[in-house]
């Protein structure tokens, strides 16, 4: 836990330079645009501790698996979105001495991320060993609309000296990943060119053979006038650099404008890449930093129009929730269905930037509510395109006949994870992917997605569940053995309630979708039957039998479902009675102790109760919450949001607010001492959920929007914005009222605290509880 | 499965050279003496596929752990008995061309291991590229009595040429392990010297800093006369070599005698090592190959006197069982309580030559019955000396107050294994170590061992069990959650019957031992109470409570104990109905599928029933066997022996014989296609058990020897030898009779098929069923 970030409603601000926090700040001040991401590494050389991170969406390397003891079925590699050509670099020499904040005396230092406009800036005054003092200010953004473009304005003012300053903007493709499994470099050079005010570097990933070409353009001005001194060039393998020297007088200000274009073979043929990079950089250069920024800024304002959350009376909370929204919008823009959301987005190497069930479970709701429908649809299409791989993945594990098991971790549909208890057993992820289909259709009403994509995914997953359960002669019920639930502090358990429940739910929903297809798309359905060799009668009969006869572990005395068989054999001492020296248990306890303890890493049984809360009475929800919450250690950042939403649902407002707060500033305050690895991007989706679905009590039931809002005592008011049913709504909660403002022309029926009301276009309606 | 070894009662014979089988033969023809071991690598250079293996007992390297996903509590390293200085090497050049069977034409080739005398020999005729034909014969042994000495007689006959032959005996310490986790070499040089007819090389292991000095002495004779030509020398880092050239005429025979001495800092101070190696080699050289061999051979005959098993009417079976006995005697001689038995002994790198529960569960009975009492006592002392480490190991996992958890894999008492489901959870090993104390005392009657060593070990283990169980409010019983039983095809199960049973048994036995100490050694016991802060009343009360109230999963309908909670939820299709394409399941199925299947890798519930068979009626044993045997895939070589013994006990003679056969020639016929990795040494102990306790039906009940023998139909007769109660017995079974011959002067009461009889010294008694 660190609290060095200054509170501000729209900005993230760091004052003073603390090298020990540098990696944390590099994460916090990351910028991106869904197509690329850049940690807040310095432009000038920095020889201190740093994690360089430049990431290009979809460009990955399959890093050979490292494992202690191999098990059949383990994947060959772990895919990683890899550190790519450094486009931000500008080496600066002042009277022959290199500017390097690790070696200079830093007299002042401010770093600022303006979230409203998407601009990263930095100002510092440094004194070099030679006594020269410079004031440096840099501004940087990666364009949210012209997504191939990065732009830097880097200014150096000679405070107390005259002499010579040398600027060397460069492109460096000779980069590596810190987390490389075998200390290998992943890139080889394809081509390089440098001359005039431009440079180009094309590199290729080993194995995957992606090409990325980065172009740069630069211009140096002195006190506002272009500098025309000689430019010298350096180039070596995977590296190009241009150097320009300027004679300066004390008080002079030198400004380098450096623009970059990053294009990859994901979007262009390899032959075209250099030309495309050149076209893009020349277009950008003709516009210049200011014009590019103006357009970028306006697009950011547009994003805030539909996704902002305002909190009155708590600047820290305001900053926290906006930071989350900003990062989610930076990470995924939904234009390309081949892309997805890594747990750390583009802000670090951890988790390789690849896809987990986090996307469906924690991020989809944000994009559903705040972005165009195509954005969340593309998240679904990502999985639909991986269906064949999911079928092959299931085949590797012995399943047949089109059963699909989506991977735990993937970038291209192939499994990357290699812990058997997760890879092979944490199969509830398949349920999350099925649920996302429902979630999308329920929220958007876009039933057409079911014909055929949604159906095809559901069919594969239903077939998997149907084969994964087995009949217990002993119980005279279907059981599901050897699974790991969302609570990864249990492994290889039998009859995990959540997994069993979401499996049965998938079967039911698939049957519903089949009815829909038969009614609405009978010809298409006939074709799908052929395509998927779907033996409708036999398969659906088995599904119905499973739905009818699935076993759910239950404690009748307490009136609750049990997380898994045998849960009540544990010593059920609540978390509150653990000694602080035992926390967090995942750092203090050996794995076996964690496994036999009752402590829950993240919502597990409660995950089902949150997803399917309509199927349980409020009293039932409360009984489960009262049993499981005291046993939950929330050692996953994905946990508190679900508890927050459920707590709100059962009227535990304080608990709900407490749970909301646990992740709202997770990264800004480095709550878990791991922000240096990157930001918890997917958990930010969870925080948004906790706000909107917890505090706001928003839910879509039978295609209709409902709210059960409450206002935390510490705040004066809040408001948030959601798209729904073609309308754009802003909702506000203050101490007395809940107001729904319809900014669009479309009428929307809304239920607030059980009162149904039609909010007409361009009107607002206030509700009082 | 390969059957290229020629059947012979006393010899292992390979005829013809098959490079594809070379690694297998290198394992099969390994020689050793408990202090060192040597794979059957060739003396002359061999550039073909080979696994070089020279192992020095107790000299290990802690190879840094390789792991995919780190868990708290994982060890830092895996200890490995490592490949050490090659002392067998003799490079041979014939008219300038190097003798190398990978490059020459092999005209004939025979390899022979004479188990009766412990001699490895090899004869071949090869034609080099230059047309020169040589007949080579080599003889080699590592002395079973002068354990520092290795001896080679290597003869080359010039068949069709005259010219020059060059011999270069050498010591090479620049060796590596194929299984090095990070491709590192483990040795650095300390010193080297070469001159006269001698050479010395001292090397040191990294990290552990063991020193090993190897000395060599050589002499070259031509047609029986010593060759006095000039000797030239070569030495470089970790390598010394002497070369002698001889002019030869067609028909000449050249013989190199090469002796080696291997001494380590385990037995001498580092400063003394070279001197000790020199003393040993000079003493050996003064004796010479023939004298050394004579003494070696006689010691081997002595070993056979007490451990031989004869089978009449089946040469393959005879060869198989003797091979097992030979290897067990080569691997562990019981003189040093710091040494133990690796699963592959000194015959390969796999399992690192370190200690598993195999020792107590499968090897101890062999040494108890066939060797001096000190041998098995030293196996126990090995664990007693590791008690403090076992307590520290338990502390790492959160246990307190002297609870001891012995490691799954160790060389020095520290845990080396890193799969959580094994390392932390396969804790029945602790029970096996406790049982070994009982086994030893029961067999030998040496109750003094309990005061204090046996007691101390039992106390630590009982304290562990006492903390490892927890009270289930739900069951109103003690339960043991999250364990892996002997059947490693189940992980993290609750209430594994065997683990629960052996835990309760440990507590009971410890209480018995406490009663014994209080009666027989009251003063010592008082001191032990102080030393171990033993709160006798409180601790033993809890133990008694656990003994009284432990939970055992059971199916009342079938009248059997269940391997673990939930076992009956599985699809119980028997192994016999599996498709051959699914076998072995550990190669064909993914881990999750194995885990949720009912298939048992090795005896698990039956392990308890075998150990504690007196506690169960024959009918009960049969019910369990009938339930579990059809579900057992025996994919561990440690499995069939237990089934064999139990099958014999319940009168399933054919099944017992079938199970016996499954491991009797496991390595000789390369049954599992893995003999190339080394021999299954510890499973050889199991095979011995299956013979003596299964076919022979031998068991010690309440300190008395009992037999329930049967003769497999295919055999005419068998006999085996055991030490018991100070006597040495030979027992014979033929079609009609079972005869007990007492070779000693001590009278022994023996029960055969429930008939008790006193076998007086130097008499024999025949029994008929």
Distance CA B230, CA A6 (A): 85
Please calculate the CA angle A579-A496-A618 and round it to the nearest 5 degrees. Answer: 80
Asked if B591 lies within 8 A of A424 by C-beta distance, the reply is: yes
Alpha helices (H) along A550-615: 585-588, 591-596, 605-611
Query: Mean pLDDT of all residues in chain A?
Result: 97
Q: What are the tens digits of pLDDT across the range B605-658?
A: 999 999 999 999 999 999 999 999 999 999 999 999 999 999 999 999 999 999
Asked if B596 lies within 8 A of A470 by C-beta distance, the reply is: yes
Q: What are phi and psi of A246, to 5 degrees?
A: -135, 135
Distance CA A278, CA A198 (A): 9
Structure tokens that stand for B453 in this block: 């060593």
Give the minimum alpha-carbon distance from B560 to chain A in angstroms, rounded to a whole number.
14
* The CATH number of domain A386-564+601-618, selected from 3.40.50.800, 3.30.70.3270, 1.50.10.10, 1.20.140.10: 1.50.10.10
Q: What are the tens digits of pLDDT across the range A634-681?
A: 999 999 999 999 999 999 999 999 999 999 999 999 988 899 999 999
Distant-in-sequence, close-in-space partners of A182: CB < 8 Å, separation ≥ 6: A63, A64, A66
Give the minimum alpha-carbon distance from A418 to chain B in angstroms, rounded to a whole number.
7
Give the minimum alpha-carbon distance from B736 to chain A in angstroms, rounded to a whole number.
47
β-strands B470-472, B477-479 pairing? antiparallel
Q: What are the tens digits of pLDDT across the range B471-526?
A: 999 999 999 999 999 999 999 999 999 999 999 999 999 999 999 999 999 999 99
Helix, strand, or coil here: B601?
A: coil
- Domains A30-285 and A386-564+601-618 alike in fold: no
Q: Are the C-beta atoms of residues A80 and A352 closer than 8 Å to each other?
A: yes
Q: What are the tens digits of pLDDT across the range A625-635?
A: 999 999 999 99
Task: Pick from A63, A66, A68, A557 the residue to mutate for testing the B interface (most B CBs within 10 Å).
Answer: A68
Q: Which of B488, B539, B629, B635 is catalytic?
A: B488
Distant-in-sequence, close-in-space partners of B752: CB < 8 Å, separation ≥ 6: B706, B707, B708, B709, B738, B740, B767
**Which pLDDT belongs to residue A735?**
95
**Which pLDDT belongs to residue A633?**
97
Our measurement of the distance from residue B462's CA atom to the centroid of its chain's CA atoms, rounded to an integer in Å, reads: 27
Structure tokens that stand for A89 in this block: 């670099």
CA distances from residue B196 to A223, B176, B216, B286 in whole angstroms, order as listed: 84, 29, 11, 15
* The CATH number of domain A30-285, selected from 3.40.50.150, 3.90.1260.10, 2.70.98.40, 2.60.40.10: 2.70.98.40
**Which pLDDT belongs to residue A769?**
85
Helix, strand, or coil here: B381?
A: helix
Give the minimum alpha-carbon distance from B370 to chain A in angstroms, rounded to a whole number.
36
Confidence of residue B2 (pLDDT cuts 50, 70, 90): confident
Nearest to A2 by CA among A503, A673, A594, A557: A673
Distance CA B172, CA B88 (A): 9
Q: What is the 3-state secondary structure (H, E, C) of A531-577?
A: HCCCCHHHHHHHHHHHHHHECCCEECCCCEECCCCCHHHCCCCCHHH
Distance CA B553, CA B565 (A): 6
Nearest to A575 by CA among A648, A647, A627, A514: A627
A617 lies within 8 A of chain B by CB: no
Confidence of residue B397 (pLDDT cuts 50, 70, 90): very high
B596 lies within 8 A of chain A by CB: yes
Q: Is the pLDDT of residue A67 over 90?
A: no
**Which pLDDT belongs to residue A438?**
98
Looking at beta carbons, which residues of chain B come within 8 Å of A587? Answer: 72
Report percent pLDDT > 70 for chain B.
Answer: 100
B392 lies within 8 A of chain A by CB: no
Residue set of the binding site of A: 357-358, 601-602
Give the minimum alpha-carbon distance from A491 to chain B in angstroms, rounded to a whole number.
7
**Which pLDDT belongs to residue A702?**
84
A395 lies within 8 A of chain B by CB: no
User: Do you know the residue count of chain A?
Assistant: 769
**Which pLDDT belongs to residue A672?**
87
E strand intervals along B420-492: 470-472, 477-479
Asked if B566 lies within 8 A of A494 by C-beta distance, the reply is: yes
Asked if A72 lies within 8 A of B589 by C-beta distance, the reply is: yes
A27 lies within 8 A of chain B by CB: no
Q: What are the tens digits of pLDDT across the range B264-323?
A: 999 999 999 999 999 999 999 999 999 999 999 999 999 999 999 999 999 999 999 999
Structure tokens that stand for A490 in this block: 């249990």
Q: What are phi and psi of B684, to 5 degrees?
A: -65, -35
Distant-in-sequence, close-in-space partners of B304: CB < 8 Å, separation ≥ 6: B116, B325
Q: What is the DSSP string of B218-270?
A: EEEEETTEE----EEEEEETTEEEEEEEEEE-TT-EEEEEEEEEEEETTTS-G
Q: Are the C-beta atoms of residues B553 and B561 closer than 8 Å to each other?
A: yes
Give the minimum alpha-carbon distance from A623 to chain B in angstroms, rounded to a whole number.
18
Mean pLDDT value of segment B538-566? 98
Looking at beta carbons, which residues of chain B come within 8 Å of A495? Answer: 569
Helix axes B640-649, B681-689, angle to 10 degrees: 0
A556 lies within 8 A of chain B by CB: no
For chains A and B, what is the number of CB pairs under 8 angstroms? 131
Q: Which residue has the tokens 């102080």?
A: B530
**Residues β-bridged to residue A755:** A752
Q: Is the pLDDT of residue B166 over 90?
A: yes
Nearest to A592 among B66, B420, B495 (CB): B420
Distance CA A649, CA A693 (A): 9
Q: Is the pLDDT of residue B183 over 90?
A: no
Looking at beta carbons, which residues of chain A come within 8 Å of B565? Answer: 565-566
A494 lies within 8 A of chain B by CB: yes
Q: What is the 3-state secondary structure (H, E, C) of A70-103?
A: CCCCCCCEEEEEEECCECCCEEEEECCEECCCCC
B419 lies within 8 A of chain A by CB: yes
A573 lies within 8 A of chain B by CB: no
Looking at beta carbons, which residues of chain A come within 8 Å of B593? Answer: 397-398
Asked if A491 lies within 8 A of B494 by C-beta distance, the reply is: no
Asked if B68 lies within 8 A of A418 by C-beta distance, the reply is: yes
> Chain B: residue nearest A587 by CA?
B72
Residues B443, B446, B450, B453, CA torsion sign? negative
Asked if B68 lies within 8 A of A419 by C-beta distance, the reply is: yes
Distance CA B403, CA B532 (A): 10
Domain ranges of chain A: 30-285, 386-564+601-618
Asked if A68 lies within 8 A of B67 by C-beta distance, the reply is: yes
A302 lies within 8 A of chain B by CB: no
Report percent pLDDT > 90 for chain B.
Answer: 96
Which residues of A, range 369-388, sit inside 8 Å of B by Cβ? none
Q: What are phi and psi of B437, to 5 degrees?
A: -60, -50
Number of H helices, E strands in chain B: 21, 33
Nearest to A359 by CA among A403, A408, A320: A408
Distance CA B558, CA B630 (A): 15
Q: How is the beta sheet containing B727-734 ordered, strand by strand?
A: B309-312, B717-724, B727-734, B737-742, B764-768
Helix, strand, or coil here: B352?
A: helix
Q: What are phi and psi of B230, to 5 degrees?
A: -60, 140
Residues of A annotated as catalytic (active site), given as ranges: 488
> Chain A: residue nearest B472 by CA?
A569
Q: What are the tens digits of pLDDT across the range B441-457?
A: 999 999 999 999 999 99
> Chain A: residue nearest B586 by CA?
A72
**Which pLDDT belongs to residue A273?**
97
Asked if B424 lies within 8 A of A591 by C-beta distance, the reply is: yes
Distance CA A510, CA B679 (A): 54
Q: Is the pLDDT of residue A129 over 90?
A: yes
**Residues β-bridged to residue A759:** A748
A65 lies within 8 A of chain B by CB: yes
DSSP secondary-structure letter at A73?
T
> Chain B: residue nearest A65 by CA?
B68
Asked if B398 lies within 8 A of A566 by C-beta distance, the reply is: no
ipTM: 0.93
> Chain B: residue nearest A595 by CA?
B482
In this structure, of A176-185, A290-299, B87-96, the range with the lowest mean pLDDT score is A176-185
B494 lies within 8 A of chain A by CB: yes
Asked if B494 lies within 8 A of A569 by C-beta distance, the reply is: yes
**Which pLDDT belongs to residue B72?**
87
> Chain A: residue nearest B481 by CA?
A596
Q: Which residue has the tokens 């031509």?
A: B222
Structure tokens that stand for B129 in this block: 């590229």
Query: Largest Cα–Cα distance of chain A, in whole Å?
Result: 90
**Which pLDDT belongs to residue A420?**
95
Domain boundaries B5-282+293-305, CATH class? mainly beta
**Which pLDDT belongs to residue B514?**
98
A397 lies within 8 A of chain B by CB: yes
Burial of B541 (0-12, 13-18, 19+ CB in 10 A): exposed
Nearest to A392 by CA among A381, A378, A373, A407: A407
Residue set of the binding site of B for substrate: 357-358, 601-602
């Amino acid at each position: 836990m660190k609290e060095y970030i200054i509170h501000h409603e729209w900005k993230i601000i760091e004052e003073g330079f603390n090298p020990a926090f540098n990696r944390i700040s590099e994460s916090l001040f990351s910028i991106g645009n869904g197509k690329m991401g850049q940690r807040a590494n310095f432009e000038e050389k920095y020889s201190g501790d740093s994690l360089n991170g430049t990431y290009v969406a979809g460009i990955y390397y399959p890093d050979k698996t490292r494992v202690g003891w191999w098990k059949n079925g383990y994947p060959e590699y772990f895919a990683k979105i890899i550190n790519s050509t450094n486009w931000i670099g500008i080496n600066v020499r002042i009277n022959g001495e290199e500017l390097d904040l690790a070696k200079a005396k830093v007299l002042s230092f401010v770093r600022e991320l303006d979230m409203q406009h998407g601009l990263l800036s930095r100002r510092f005054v440094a004194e070099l060993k030679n006594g020269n003092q410079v004031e440096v200010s840099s501004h940087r953004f990666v364009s949210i609309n012209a997504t191939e473009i990065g732009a830097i304005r880097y200014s150096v003012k000679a405070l107390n000296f005259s002499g010579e300053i040398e600027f060397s903007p460069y492109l460096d493709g000779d980069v590596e990943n810190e987390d490389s499994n075998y200390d290998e470099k992943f890139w080889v050079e394809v081509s390089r060119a440098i001359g005039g005010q431009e440079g180009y570097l094309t590199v290729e990933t080993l194995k995957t053979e992606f090409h990325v070409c980065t172009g740069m353009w630069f211009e140096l001005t002195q006190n506002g006038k272009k500098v025309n001194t000689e430019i010298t060039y350096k180039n070596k393998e995977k590296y190009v650099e241009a150097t320009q020297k300027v004679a300066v007088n004390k008080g002079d200000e030198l400004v380098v404008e450096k623009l970059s274009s990053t294009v990859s073979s994901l979007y262009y043929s390899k032959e075209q890449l250099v030309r495309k990079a050149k076209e893009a950089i020349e277009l950008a250069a003709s516009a210049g930093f200011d014009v590019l920024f103006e357009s970028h800024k306006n697009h950011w304002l547009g994003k805030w129009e539909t996704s902002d959350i305002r909190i009155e009376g708590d600047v820290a909370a305001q900053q926290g929730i906006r930071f989350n929204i900003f990062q989610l919008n930076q990470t995924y823009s939904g234009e390309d269905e081949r892309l997805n959301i890594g747990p750390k987005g583009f802000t670090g190497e951890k988790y390789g930037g690849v896809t987990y069930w986090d996307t469906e479970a924690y991020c989809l709701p944000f994009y559903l509510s705040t972005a165009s429908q195509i954005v969340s649809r593309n998240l679904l299409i990502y999985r639909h395109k991986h269906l064949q791989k999911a079928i092959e993945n299931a085949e590797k594990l012995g399943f047949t006949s089109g059963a699909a098991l989506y991977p735990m971790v993937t970038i291209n549909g192939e499994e990357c994870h290699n812990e058997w208890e997760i890879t092979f057993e944490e199969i509830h992820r398949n349920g999350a992917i099925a649920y996302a289909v429902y979630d999308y259709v329920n929220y958007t009403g876009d039933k057409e997605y079911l014909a055929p994509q949604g159906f095809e995914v559901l069919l594969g997953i239903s077939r998997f569940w149907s084969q994964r359960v087995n009949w217990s002669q002993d119980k005279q019920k279907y059981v599901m053995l050897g699974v790991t639930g969302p609570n990864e502090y249990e492994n290889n358990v039998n009859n995990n309630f959540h997994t069993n429940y979401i499996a049965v739910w998938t079967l039911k929903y698939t049957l519903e979708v089949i009815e829909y297809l038969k009614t609405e798309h009978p010809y298409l359905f006939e074709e799908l039957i052929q395509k998927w060799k779907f033996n409708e009668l036999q398969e659906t009969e088995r599904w119905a039998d499973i739905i009818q006869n699935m076993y759910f572990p239950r404690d009748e005395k307490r009136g609750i479902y049990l997380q898994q068989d045998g849960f009540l054999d544990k010593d059920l001492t609540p978390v509150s009675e653990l000694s602080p020296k035992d926390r967090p248990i995942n750092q203090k306890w050996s794995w076996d102790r964690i496994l036999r303890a009752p402590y829950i890493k993240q919502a597990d049984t409660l995950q089902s109760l949150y997803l399917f809360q309509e199927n349980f009475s409020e009293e039932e929800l409360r009984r489960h919450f009262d049993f499981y919450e005291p046993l939950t250690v929330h050692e996953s950042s994905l946990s508190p949001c679900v508890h927050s939403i459920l707590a709100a649902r059962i009227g535990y407002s304080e608990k709900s607010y407490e749970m909301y707060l646990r992740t709202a500033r997770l990264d800004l305050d480095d709550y878990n001492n791991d922000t240096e690895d990157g930001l918890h991007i997917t958990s930010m989706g969870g925080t948004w959920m906790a706000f909107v679905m917890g505090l706001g009590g928003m839910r879509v039931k039978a295609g209709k929007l409902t709210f059960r809002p409450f206002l935390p005592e510490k705040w004066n008011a809040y408001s948030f914005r959601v798209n729904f049913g073609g309308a754009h709504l802003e909702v506000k909660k203050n101490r007395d009222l809940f107001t729904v403002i319809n900014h669009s022309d479309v009428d929307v029926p809304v239920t607030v605290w059980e009162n149904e009301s039609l909010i007409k276009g361009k009107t607002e309606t206030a509700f009082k509880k």
